A and B are shown apart, each in its own frame.
Chain A
Amino acid sequence: MTINLKVWKQKNAKTSGNLETYKVDHVSPDMSFLEMFDVLNEKLVQENKEPIAFDHDCREGICGMCSMYINGQPHGPLEGVTTCQLHMRTFNDGDTIVVEPWRSKAFPVIKDLVVDRSAFDRIIASGGFVSVNTGNAQDANNLAIGKDKADMAFAAAACIGCGACVAACKNASAMLFVSAKVSQLALLPQGQPERESRALNMVAQMDAEGFGACTNTGACAAECPKEISLDNIARLNREFLGASISSTSV
């Protein structure tokens, strides 16, 4: 296969970038999208040109590092798939593919396709944790949790924090991410001690980072590689508004 790429090139956060055109020959349909970039970068290095910077780590769809906005969709055209699990057989020989970084005020571009997602880390640090007392581990079956609740918590915990929700949202809103992180803990007994402060603090941090508000368009859930449900956003609204009313912190 031959693939024509238009890739966002940007030196750093302070400069503005532009789309550059590359032609990649001998692309195997069995390559992943990232492997195609590896082939291109190897060629660029051999030609003494600068390779394209992009994020990647596990390459098995569970780490949340890869972050390419491919032909107008985060992680490309397939549903429930990260960029590393997107294979070139999804495209046709001779296709032109436009690849851009996540675009959000809260995710400044570091270089090319690499964006700084530490805003998510700061949101997690503001409340995405549970207090665990020291001492012996308690017997696993001591805490009874209904299967339905456990399943909902697990589905929310599937969020890998890649930021596709922010990239897909017209408001660059982080609501799906924050809602998944609040939900997974709010649904379980271990998450109860910090339940109110978690919702309040994580939303405050989300706003401070400069993410937009939620318009309930559903683009985030449609593009999420882990198919996190919009129900979590309703739960986050419930948790936040409930905590605002009932918490004793004035």
Chain B
Amino acid sequence: MFWLTKTLTSSIGKKLLMALTGLFLCTFLIVHLIGNLQLFKNDGGYAFNNYAVFMTTFPLIKVVSYVNYALILFHAFWGLYITYKNRQARPVNYAVVKNSSSVFSRNMAVLGTILLVYLAVHMSDFWYRYHNEALPYVKYTEQISNGNVETTLMESGYTQEAKKVESFNEEAGTKTIIVKDLYNVVSFSFQNILLVLFYVLSMFAVAFHMFHGFQSAFQTMGWSHPKYTPLIKGIGVWVFAVLIPIGYAAMPLYFYFFK
């Protein structure tokens, strides 16, 4: 067998692929959160809707996002495959088991499956609708001199070819753009308490998955050092298992309670 295939299909190599793809998805968690923080801007979705256009049209981002979708699927199904193989290593189970490991570390596949279901719902909620459905359009008129933005919802049935139509009125000193109103879709979706609950509970799954997963990825890559491992573990817990899930969970809660 070719050496690289041999390495990556060994028990350690299989885990290395989980670690590398997992860490890539961790960077996605950061970028996606920072971008979506624009939902909290009280500007009628001006920043967020512009950002949505940028994320779906800028070529480099498009490439990265398709790589991201592929790696999510790879990470999920490769993980399930490893879990299946690991189960086979113990054909007869114990009658009594007293565990000395964390419940999260033992159930990464369960947490991961919950997240895969969540991602399917999340993508069909927003990604699919943004790309495939006739969404309402919104017009923003910005006073260039002072940055004031006036928001006008377009009449239903309005549609345009381009994702973003931009025009300038030099006399009035204004810039006008017309874009799909994804912000409105988000805002409307999160009026449904069941969806809000599903999103918030799924963020617990993210938190528990990260609680074990982040530091585990470094251990798998062989990064264990008395100076740096405590830092890695701290980042895994406080940034990835606490801060980021709270940031994400805040979005549906914000729209449900304050919009």
A contacts, CB < 8 Å to B = 6, 16, 19, 69, 71-73, 77, 98, 100, 103-106, 168, 170-173, 175, 203-204, 206-207, 210-219, 222-223, 230-231, 233-242, 244-245, 249-250
Q: What is the interface of chain B, defined by CB distance below 8 A to chain A?
A: 3-4, 6-7, 10-16, 82, 85-102, 105-106, 108, 212, 215-216, 219-224
Instruction: Please report the C-alpha to C-alpha distance between residue A250 and residue B95 in the assembled complex, in whole angstroms.
Output: 45
Question: Do B102 and A217 touch (CB < 8 A)?
Answer: yes
Taking a contact as CB atoms under 8 Å apart, the answer to whether B106 and A235 are in contact is no
Q: Are A103 and B90 in contact (CB under 8 A)?
A: yes
B109 and chain A: residue at smallest CB distance: A215
- Residue pairs across A and B with CB atoms within 8 Å: the count is 138
Residues of A within 8 A of B216 (CB): 215-216
| B99, closest chain A residue (CB) | A219
A103-B93, A217-B101, A244-B13 provided; 19 other pairs, C-beta below 8 A?
Answer: A16-B92, A19-B95, A100-B95, A105-B89, A105-B91, A207-B11, A212-B85, A212-B86, A212-B89, A213-B14, A213-B82, A213-B86, A215-B216, A216-B105, A216-B220, A217-B212, A218-B102, A234-B222, A241-B16
Please state if A172 and B222 are interface contacts (CB–CB under 8 Å).
no
Chosen A-B contacts, 29 in total, with CB atoms closer than 8 Å, are A19-B95, A71-B98, A100-B95, A100-B96, A103-B94, A104-B90, A105-B88, A105-B91, A106-B89, A168-B100, A203-B12, A204-B10, A206-B11, A207-B10, A211-B11, A212-B86, A216-B215, A216-B216, A216-B220, A217-B102, A231-B224, A235-B224, A237-B16, A237-B219, A241-B7, A241-B12, A241-B16, A249-B3, A250-B3
Contact partner of B86 among A73, A171, A237, A239, CB < 8 A? A171
Smallest CB-CB separation from B108: which chain A residue? A215
Residues of A within 8 A of B221 (CB): 237, 241
Closest to B93 in A: A103
Tell me whether A240 and B98 are in contact in the complex, defined as CB-CB below 8 angstroms, given that A214-B15, A250-B3 are known contacts.
Answer: no
**Pair A219/B82 contact, Cβ less than 8 Å:** no
Are A72's CB and B96's CB within 8 A?
yes
Q: Which residues does chain A contribute within 8 Å of B93, judged by CB atoms?
A: 103
Of the candidates A219, A231, A235, the one whose C-beta lies within 8 Å of that of B101 is: A219
Residues in B with CB closer than 8 Å to A249 are: 3
Residue of B nearest to A223 (CB): B100
Which of chain B's residues have a CB closer than 8 A to the CB of A206?
Answer: 11
Shortest C-beta distance, A216 to chain B (Å), equals 4
> When the two chains form their complex, are residues A203 and B11 in contact, meaning their CB atoms are under 8 A apart?
yes
Instruction: Select from chain B the residue with minimum beta-carbon distance to A234.
Output: B224
CB distance from B204 to the nearest CB of A (A): 20
Cα–Cα, bound, A125→B240 (Å): 42
5 closest A-B pairs by beta carbon, nearest first, are A238-B222, A234-B224, A72-B98, A212-B89, A217-B101
| Closest Cβ–Cβ distance, residue B91 to chain A (whole Å) | 5
Contact of B94 among A69, A231, A237 (CB under 8 A): A69
Set of chain A residues within 8 Å of B11, measured between Cβ atoms: 173, 175, 203, 206-207, 211-214
| A71 vs B97: C-alpha distance when bound (angstroms) | 7
Chain A residues whose CB sits within 8 angstroms of the CB of B87 once the complex forms: 171
Q: How far is the CB of A221 from chain B (nearest CB, A)?
A: 9
Do B101 and A218 touch across chains, with their CB atoms under 8 A apart?
Answer: yes
Among A77, A217, A231, find the residue whose CB has the most chain B CB atoms closer than 10 A. A217
Contact with B100, one of A73, A104, A211 (Cβ below 8 angstroms): A73
The smallest beta-carbon distance between A8 and chain B, in angstroms, is 8
Neighbouring B residues of A216 by C-beta, 8 Å: 105, 212, 215-216, 219-220
Q: Among A213, A219, A244, A250, point to the contact of B85 (Cβ < 8 A).
A: A213
Asked if B86 contacts A98 (CB within 8 A), the reply is: no
Q: Compute how far the CA of A69 lies from the CA of B89 in the bound complex, rounded to whole angstroms.
A: 17
Given contacts A203-B12, A237-B222, contact A104 B89 (CB under 8 A): yes
Known: A104-B89, A212-B85, A215-B108. A72 touches B97 (CB 8 A): yes
